Structure 1
Amino acid sequence: MISWFEIPVQRMQRAQKFYEAIFGVTITVSEFGEFVMGLFPDKQSMGQSSGALVEHEQYVPSMTHGAMVYFACDDVAVVLDKVEKAGGQVLQPKTEIGEGHGFMGLLRDTEGNRIALHSNS
């Protein structure tokens, strides 16, 4: 049901470098009026959601407010192993969700956002 998400950032270059480092993707930065947006790779053609990092005075990073974004990955542990080297913080290591729902982990990105990861193995 999710078609798009936006993650608030304070410094686009720092956030771009962090997310590219932990996910191994290329984020394309563009300006849309007053908004600076770092676009994640487009997955909508494959039936998956996509989104952007957003730098704007109305977007405020938070560890406690707003929705929590879960990024799908092959193995939560592999991504979490890259977080601290990229400037973030691991908040919760790879943890089994139970009842066959896979695994999750939590991190704090370089901007101060709480972000979740999910994998089936």
Structure 2
Amino acid sequence: MKSPKNTLNWFEIPVNDFDRACKFYSQLFDYEMHSAVMGPNRRGFLPFDPAGDGVAGAIVQGPDYVPSQRGSLVYLNAGDDLNLVLARVADAGGHVEQEKLPVADEQDLGYYAIIRDTEGNRVALHSMR
């Protein structure tokens, strides 16, 4: 069996208030989020390239989805410049928990920051600048 190109191929961020979370992530990434009801769950799809090999994910509201500050930490792509996305966190209703830092001092792996979204989830943002 051939090893997968990426370990991660899909992620879901649990939300309580779908409309509030949709507004937060739409404002954070400056785009219009598309949503769909799939079974008992409502999903809002985060930006992705449907023709590419990248990873996709969604915010999800449903009976088994509970926002948390503990557990897995998802790193979302903040584009070319992390500062641009970080500047929108507070206005979107979130909170910056960890300001921008280099991923590593020894290697050029870019920068990250950790935010708390409107639902109480800890989410990381990553960019090369």
Regarding TM over 0.5, the answer is yes
The Cα shift of 1:28 comes to 1.0
Matches within 5 A, 1:73-88: 73=78, 74-88=80-94
2:62 is aligned with 1:50: no
Q: 1:111 aligns with which of 114, 119, 122?
A: 119
Aligned residues, how many? 120
Does the CA contact (< 8 Å) of 2:40 and 2:63 recur in 1? no
Matches within 5 A, 1:1-121: 1=6, 2-65=8-71, 67-73=72-78, 74-98=80-104, 99-121=107-129
Structure 1 or 2, whichever has the larger Rg, is 2
Calculate the TM-score normalised by the size of structure 1: 0.93
2-structure distance, mates of 1:84, 1:102: 22
- What's the % identity of the aligned pairs? 39
Runs of 4+ in 1 over 6 A off after TM superposition: none
Report the secondary structure of 2:11's partner residue. Answer: strand
The Cα shift of 1:52 comes to 0.8
Q: Which runs of 5+ in 1 are unaligned?
A: none
The Cα shift of 1:33 comes to 1.7
